[in-house]
Chains A and B, each alone.
Chain A
């Protein structure tokens, strides 16, 4: 069996460096250089964190996509490189970004909080095409848009719309909503309230979780009382860093399923997805990263693959040409979700099906049949054109 340096390198799963090939003999090799930058602030003490988000979530996804692009690119005279860094502070990240821009890297994937992304977008200006693989804030899709910022991670609105559609389909329409008190929690809960209205759900009780006590021993004492009230079909939890959310299932006053940020959750991806050829992607990722693929990995993967697809179709590595193609009508990305993905040309959001999964299995994939749309059912999730004030192309 022939074992080339490429297959050995790809099998090895190199972390920060890239799999550089032996120099290609073609004179007209297209060089495409990517940057990946990550900074996520410490989420604070997590009482119930048994399975924390991996530290290299996002980076491994970008790495897999570079390898995918390289495997494709070597038949077509394309070469891809990834420079990456995980930083420890916002300042360090912005410095690293400036350095990448100075080094003429024009395609950069960012896994950072919303506030950092805004600053990055300002620094980047028109010098680079930025891909948001981490920030789910809706403000970035509603009125704070930049023609040089594309989003591959779904927004809060897309996630909660997916959940609300499913609750509507199941007819579990009365909701007991519990929201944490962090900004992220409140943003998620606010998105859900909007989704509830959009999909005709009834939030019968809307409470904030204000306990600061350690729930590890008290959950079964506190939660049943906390969840008493008028009848409801389902409990929806908005607890982004998992302070209390995992204690809710089986401790509610009424026997009710728990969904939201815990229980059954909407996300960009889930390791249990295996239809639509996804088993192959999961296998390749697990081989490389030695862990399952997360939603953040998927968002970073999709960004790098989208560019790879654009390079193949346009036969160009020019950032402006690629940007134009990505926002155009012809672009489509086969991304293992059963239908082609594309970018919304009003706010640069990658439209995509959203899986609903609990820790060990996939329950369903939104959008669901019956929710109609004049252009594509994928736009029933998130902010549609008339609802967003953004207009990247007109």
Chain B
């Protein structure tokens, strides 16, 4: 009969279209499982796990959130995942062993750190052509691009340096030595400051972007935790300039820092060997990847409390959260 079929079709269409509506999702790269876990931010549960290339580490969302870029380090490639189908649809020539990368605000220039080759590769994601390869220090990892697009900053882990790259000329204009084993960099929303973590140094360095000078060093001390275990890696800054969240590695804590005074306000206990952190676009939730315990901690930013732990794959590394304004 036609009516039930039309009714069924209408219900089906309604069901389909509601799945196209706002659904904020978090994507987590599992370094040793070679997969991406998908977490529904409403229910805080893993809804899917899909395979990608070998040793996925850094991940990035395209500006329209329809694509996920994945550094498949052991495949020597940046993979492009179509998030609607959750399939790898393309591979970009990234240079060898890409670990982390950053997308220029123009949405086209991808700055990739090639860890094994002491290079930064600049790729045009539309034409898939390498625009430049810049020689940097040993074991480049962290990559950050300022919101105004002027600077790309790369960290060299073993050279202990920040390389400031002019995004027009692709040349290094300044090199700043910071603490031992720099990992991650983040620009403040207004690009006035750059935050950089030094893993073995146990410090976070604040650089004034105008003068390109370091203005502050943050030390972390957690009662009962051996200082050698305090190893800062990932950093996230709230866009209102209020908080900075720093992952402290085998100290198993997140430091909550007042982004104005640089004082540490609190330490939140999460899983084992916390590496990276990501804020939800509404900045109400912070997710952390806990490499050794294989899970993700969920932090309520208003209450500054850990509210949940979600099991993902082995050695979760990168995490990015969509706003859900598009599927």
Could you tell me if B116 and A1 are in contact, using CB atoms closer than 8 angstroms? no
Given contacts A1-B133, A72-B159, A280-B115, contact A334 B175 (CB under 8 A): no
Given contacts A1-B130, A76-B177, A312-B177, contact A334 B139 (CB under 8 A): no
Total number of A residues with any Cβ neighbor in B under 8 Å: 25
Cβ contacts under 8 Å, B137 to chain A: 71-72, 75
Could you tell me if B157 and A6 are in contact, using CB atoms closer than 8 angstroms? no
Could you tell me if B118 and A71 are in contact, using CB atoms closer than 8 angstroms? yes
Total number of B residues with any Cβ neighbor in A under 8 Å: 32
Query: In the bound complex, what is the Cα–Cα distance between A7 and B163 (angstroms)?
Result: 18
- A208 CB → nearest B CB, Å: 40
Quick one: which of B124-181 are within 8 Å of A by CB?
Answer: 130, 132-133, 135, 137-139, 156-161, 163, 172, 175, 177, 180-181
Query: In the bound complex, what is the Cα–Cα distance between A68 and B158 (angstroms)?
Result: 8
Query: In the bound complex, what is the Cα–Cα distance between A8 and B118 (angstroms)?
Result: 13
Query: In the bound complex, what is the Cα–Cα distance between A165 and B41 (angstroms)?
Result: 45
Could you tell me if A72 and B226 are in contact, using CB atoms closer than 8 angstroms? no
Could you tell me if B139 and A280 are in contact, using CB atoms closer than 8 angstroms? yes
Quick one: which of B198-236 are within 8 Å of A by CB?
Answer: 199-202, 226, 228-229
Cβ contacts under 8 Å, B157 to chain A: 277, 280, 334
Query: In the bound complex, what is the Cα–Cα distance between A338 and B156 (angstroms)?
Result: 17
Quick one: which of B105-131 are within 8 Å of A by CB?
Answer: 115-118, 130
Cβ contacts under 8 Å, B199 to chain A: 334
Query: In the bound complex, what is the Cα–Cα distance between A312 and B228 (angstroms)?
Result: 22
A217 located at the interface, meaning its Cβ lies under 8 Å from any Cβ of chain B in the complex = no
Quick one: which of A75-119 are within 8 Å of B by CB?
Answer: 75-76
Cβ contacts under 8 Å, A76 to chain B: 161, 175, 177
Given contacts A72-B160, A75-B163, A312-B160, contact A283 B116 (CB under 8 A): yes
Query: In the bound complex, what is the Cα–Cα distance between A345 and B224 (angstroms)?
Result: 26
Quick one: which of A156-183 are within 8 Å of B by CB?
Answer: none
Cβ contacts under 8 Å, B250 to chain A: 338
Q: Out of A6, A71, A313, name the residue touching B159 (CB < 8 Å).
A: A71
Could you tell me if B180 and A340 are in contact, using CB atoms closer than 8 angstroms? yes
Q: Out of B95, B135, B161, B181, name the residue touching A334 (CB < 8 Å).
A: B181
Query: In the bound complex, what is the Cα–Cα distance between A333 and B133 (angstroms)?
Result: 29
Query: In the bound complex, what is the Cα–Cα distance between A333 and B179 (angstroms)?
Result: 10
Could you tell me if A376 and B138 are in contact, using CB atoms closer than 8 angstroms? no
Given contacts A332-B180, A376-B228, contact A72 B156 (CB under 8 A): yes
A284 located at the interface, meaning its Cβ lies under 8 Å from any Cβ of chain B in the complex = yes
- A105 CB → nearest B CB, Å: 24
Given contacts A284-B116, A334-B200, contact A4 B135 (CB under 8 A): yes
Query: In the bound complex, what is the Cα–Cα distance between A333 and B180 (angstroms)?
Result: 7
A339 located at the interface, meaning its Cβ lies under 8 Å from any Cβ of chain B in the complex = yes
Shortest Cβ distance from A338 into B: residue: B250
Query: In the bound complex, what is the Cα–Cα distance between A338 and B115 (angstroms)?
Result: 18
Cβ contacts under 8 Å, B181 to chain A: 277, 334
Cβ contacts under 8 Å, B115 to chain A: 280
Query: In the bound complex, what is the Cα–Cα distance between A277 and B116 (angstroms)?
Result: 11
Given contacts A280-B115, A334-B158, A339-B228, contact A71 B201 (CB under 8 A): no
A377 located at the interface, meaning its Cβ lies under 8 Å from any Cβ of chain B in the complex = yes
Which of A6, A332, A376 gathers most chain B CB within 10 Å?
A332
- B231 CB → nearest A CB, Å: 8
Given contacts A284-B116, A332-B200, A340-B200, contact A75 B228 (CB under 8 A): no
Quick one: which of A335-394 are within 8 Å of B by CB?
Answer: 338-340, 376-377
Cβ contacts under 8 Å, B135 to chain A: 2, 4, 6-7
Cβ contacts under 8 Å, B202 to chain A: 340
Query: In the bound complex, what is the Cα–Cα distance between A4 and B118 (angstroms)?
Result: 12
Q: Out of A68, A75, A284, A377, name the residue touching B172 (CB < 8 Å).
A: A75
- B222 CB → nearest A CB, Å: 15
A–B Cβ pairs within 8 angstroms, 8 of them? A1-B95, A68-B158, A75-B163, A280-B115, A283-B116, A284-B138, A334-B200, A377-B226
Binding site for B on A (CB under 8 A): 1-2, 4, 6-7, 68, 71-72, 75-76, 277, 280, 283-284, 309, 312-313, 332-334, 338-340, 376-377
Binding site for A on B (CB under 8 A): 95, 115-118, 130, 132-133, 135, 137-139, 156-161, 163, 172, 175, 177, 180-181, 199-202, 226, 228-229, 250
Could you list 8 further interchain pairs (A-B, Cβ under 8 angstroms) beyond the known A76-B175, A280-B116, A339-B200?
A2-B132, A75-B172, A76-B161, A76-B177, A280-B139, A312-B160, A339-B229, A340-B201
- Which 3 A-B pairs rank lowest in CB-CB distance, beginning with the nearest? A72-B159, A334-B200, A334-B180
